[in-house]
Amino acid sequence: MITVAGYDVDEGLEYDPDYNLWVERRGLGVVRVGYDPLGAETVGDIVAVALAAPGRALVRGSALATIEAAKFVGPLPAPVAGDVRAVNESLARNPGAINSDPFGSWIAEIDGVTDDAFSHLIAGAEAIRSWFSATAERFRLQGVIAE
Amino acid sequence: MSASTVELPQTTQTEHQSPEWVRISYASALALRFRSGRFTQPFDFGGINLLLSYDRGCLSDCGYCGLARNRPGDYEEKSFIRVDWPLVETDELVRRLVRHEDKLTRLCISMVTHGRAYPDTLDIAGRITRSVATPLSLLVAPPTLNEARLQAFRDAGADMIGIGLDAVTEDLFRSLRSDVPKGGLKWSQYWRIVDAARLIFGAWKVNCHTLVGLGESDADLMGIFTRLLEGQIFSYLFCFNPEPDSRMGALPKTPLQRWRRVQLAKFLLEERGIAPEQFRYDDAGTLVRIHAPRGLVEAVVADGHAFMTNGCPSSGGEPGCTRPMGSWRPTEPPRDFPWRPRGVELDGIRAALDLDSLVSPGPGPSRPPELCAPPAAGRVTE
């Protein structure tokens, strides 16, 4: 882990800068995804998660899940194209785990991911540090992070 | 007129109780950056709601309320209006009100029925009004008040008083708030405080909360709206939203069509001068027909204001207290819109109203404009 803007960030993962999701490569064409700490924090206290059915085909940006927080509801977009391989059913019982432990709360696994699907992701400690720091500042200016 | 208070037990002051600590609505916590998060649809929000907080909680036991003393669970863990109300230090809250004053529109302190509620509300109101110019409402607990105490609230800088009638008939009030395990609230006492507040604060400076879905009929609701309109007192409309684990937690939420029709009828009565006899009901008191010019009704629907949150205004007469998602979950269509509904939102409202089955030709306004309610949620500048 590296500490950036007060957050612990796993430098071994890749990140979707548009959706604030982490992506973990887990073998040939298979990834596991979840919210990064900023993504989890800025939706607010998550109270429900409706997950896509395994087998569903996704393009990047299509809904992998629907997230309901205290004052927010919206889709969780897929960071890469592929097929839903598995979903974390425990989140239905404990959706708040995403807020309290975003790296420990994987949301879905996607398979059939092609190599070119990773090109937009941010990887490597320095790139992650730079991007995450700027994003935290942007969220602070937007007023969606507690003071 | 005299309004007596009910003597309530005092409690020992401990660390996290009012007046040094208060609860604030989740939306207020977002606006003041106590909590991280956002709204589904970004909009300007500056209506900050505070709630007194005590270890023993509210001493009332209303069947529908999340704070009811007999609702299971510790008071610290109880939700109110279905969501968590974060506990914050009062002085830190005031500092943040100062820091964010430019975007604040209306402040409100909600009392609970408790022996310390009056002095603590007065204390907190003073801390606020000495620090910011944002208008301050008080949602009062009648058992704790009398005329002198209401006057003291006004002297402390509060400009509007709210009374949570919630139940709109005496029988319903008795069954939900008086004749309950730890109840005892009195309909007559609530009305004494309504009348006293009206005298002290003036016309259109008092409001009564009325809840749709507790078992009343539409005719009951329109009756109370008319009574309050005659007294130049605002009716603020709320939609019953069952609080889990409360005694009424398993009851259904008010159907959307009924809710929309009540919103429309209330607006036509209060702000468009349609006479009470032009609203027709079946034997159960359900609104079945509005006799009014169709063009007028269509204009009201297209305008959208009838479906906005009823709440105290900002100093400029614009929407002040908008309670986003106070009576609907983020996954549901808004019941009362914190913003002016447009586009697909108006399409949904029209579909729910089904005006073809509701409106028949009839006369236009009969109430002179000066006797209608002023805009409750800021239509002054439109």
The C-alpha of A48 sits at a distance from chain B's nearest C-alpha, in angstroms, of 10
Nearest-Cα distance to chain A for B333, in Å, is 12
CA distance linking residue A31 with residue A84, whole number of Å: 10
pLDDT tens, B314-340?
887 777 888 887 787 778 888 999 889
Other Cβ atoms less than 10 A from the Cβ of B208: the count is 24
Return the CATH fold of B21-371: TIM Barrel (3.20.20)
pLDDT confidence of residue B1: 37
Spatial contact of B376 and B313, defined as CB atoms under 8 Å apart: yes
In percent, the amount of chain B with pLDDT more than 90 equals 69
Whether A145 shows a pLDDT value over 90: the answer reads yes
Residue B324, min C-alpha distance to chain A (Å): 8
Q: Cβ contact (<8 Å) for A72 and B38?
A: yes
Overall number of domains in chain A:
1
Percentage of chain A modeled with pLDDT above 70: 100
Asked whether residue A145 is domain-assigned, the answer is no
The domain segmentation of chain B, as residue ranges, is 21-371
Which tokens in the block code for residue B32? Answer: 């003041």
pLDDT score of B2: 41
To the nearest whole Å, the CA of A71 is away from the closest chain B CA by 5
For A45, which of B34, B37, B329 is closest by C-beta distance? B37
User: Residue B32: pLDDT above 50?
Assistant: yes
Between residues B43 and A124, which one has the greater pLDDT?
A: A124
**Across the interface, do A68 and B331 touch by the CB < 8 Å criterion?**
yes
* Owning domain of residue A56: 2-138
Min distance B242 CA to chain A CA atoms (Å): 16
Query: What pLDDT is attached to residue B202?
Result: 96
In a domain, A146, yes or no: no
**Separation between Cα atoms, residue B242 and residue A5, nearest integer Å:** 41
Partner A contacted by B188 (CB < 8 A): no
Which residues of chain B neighbour A68 with C-beta distances below 8 Å?
Answer: 329-331
Which pTM does this prediction carry?
0.88
Query: Closest Cα to residue B38, out of A15, A18, A139?
Result: A139
Confirm whether the ipTM is greater than 0.95.
no
Q: In chain B, whose CA is at the least distance from the CA of A40?
A: B37
The first and second tokens of residue B378, run together, are: 């800021």
pLDDT of B248 > 90? The answer is: no
Task: Report pLDDT for B381.
Answer: 40
Report the C-alpha dihedral over residues B255, B174, B198, B133, rounded to 10 degrees: -60
CA distances from A106 to A87, B66, B216 (A): 8, 33, 47
Mean pLDDT of chain B: 89
Q: Is A138 an 8 Å CB contact of chain B?
A: no
What tokens were used for B184? 């005892």
Place of tokens 């539409």: B218
Residue with tokens 């019941």: B335
Distances (CA, A) of A52 to A4, A24, A65, A86, B370: 32, 19, 5, 9, 56
Task: Say if the Cβ atoms of A143 and B324 lie within 8 Å.
Answer: no
Query: Is pLDDT above 70 for B223?
Result: yes
Contact of A147 with chain B, judged by CB distance below 8 Å, is answered with: yes
Instruction: Please write the tens of the pLDDT for every residue from A60-116.
Output: 999 999 999 989 999 999 999 999 999 999 999 999 999 999 999 999 999 999 999
- Calculate mean pLDDT across residues B133-161: 97
Residue A116 within any structural domain of the chain: yes
Q: Are B124 and B18 in contact (CB under 8 A)?
A: yes
> From residue B31, how far is each of A20, A39, B49, B103, B317 by CA, in Å?
22, 18, 11, 9, 20
Place of tokens 């008191």: B285
Hey, are the CB atoms on A41 and B36 less than 8 Å from each other?
Answer: yes
Whether B111 has a pLDDT exceeding 50, the answer reads yes
> Mean pLDDT throughout B33-61?
88
For residue B307, give the 3-state DSSP assignment.
helix
Q: Does A141 touch chain B (CB under 8 A)?
A: no
A69–B contact, CB cutoff 8 A: yes
Identify the pLDDT of residue B378. Answer: 47
Residues of chain A positioned with their CB less than 8 A from the CB of B30: 44, 71, 144
CA distance A10 to A1: 4
Cα A47 → chain centroid:
17
Specify the CATH number for the domain of residue A35.
2.40.50.100
Cβ contact, residue pair A71, B330, below 8 Å: yes
Q: What is the pLDDT of residues B355-373, one digit of tens each?
A: 999 999 999 999 998 899 9
What is the spatial distance between Cα B257 and Cα B178, in angstroms, rounded to a whole number? 30
Token pair for A42: 């800025």
**B220 compared with B184, residue with greater pLDDT:** B220
Task: Write down the pLDDT at residue B45.
Answer: 84
* B83 in contact with A, Cβ within 8 Å: yes
Q: Say yes or no for a CB contact (<8 Å) between A74 and B35.
A: no
- Is residue B70 pLDDT above 70, yes or no? no
| A72: amino acid identity, one letter | F
Q: What is the pLDDT of residue B244?
A: 78
Q: Which of B38, B85, B103 to mutate to test the interface with A (most CBs of A within 10 A)?
A: B38
Q: Tell me the longest C-alpha to C-alpha distance in chain B.
A: 62
Residue B55 has pLDDT above 90, yes or no: no
pLDDT, mean over chain A:
96
Of A42, A48, A71, the CB nearest to B325: A71
Residue B42 reports pLDDT greater than 90:
no
Q: Collect all residues of chain A within an 8 Å Cβ-Cβ radius of residue B35.
A: 44-45, 146
Q: A32 has which bridge partners?
A: A24, A109
Expressed in angstroms, the distance from the first to the final Cα of chain A is 23
Better pLDDT: B290 or B253: B290
Query: Beta B47-52 vs B106-110: how paired, if at all?
Result: parallel
* DSSP code for B89: E
pLDDT in the model for residue B82: 53
> Is the pLDDT reported for residue A124 higher than 70?
yes
Q: Which of A66, A107, A67, A110 is nearest to A87 (CA)?
A: A107
Stretch among A2-6, A111-115, B28-32, B328-332 having the lowest mean pLDDT:
B328-332
Chain-chain contact of B36 with A145 (C-beta, under 8 angstroms): yes
Q: With an 8 Å Cβ cutoff, is B26 touching chain A?
A: yes
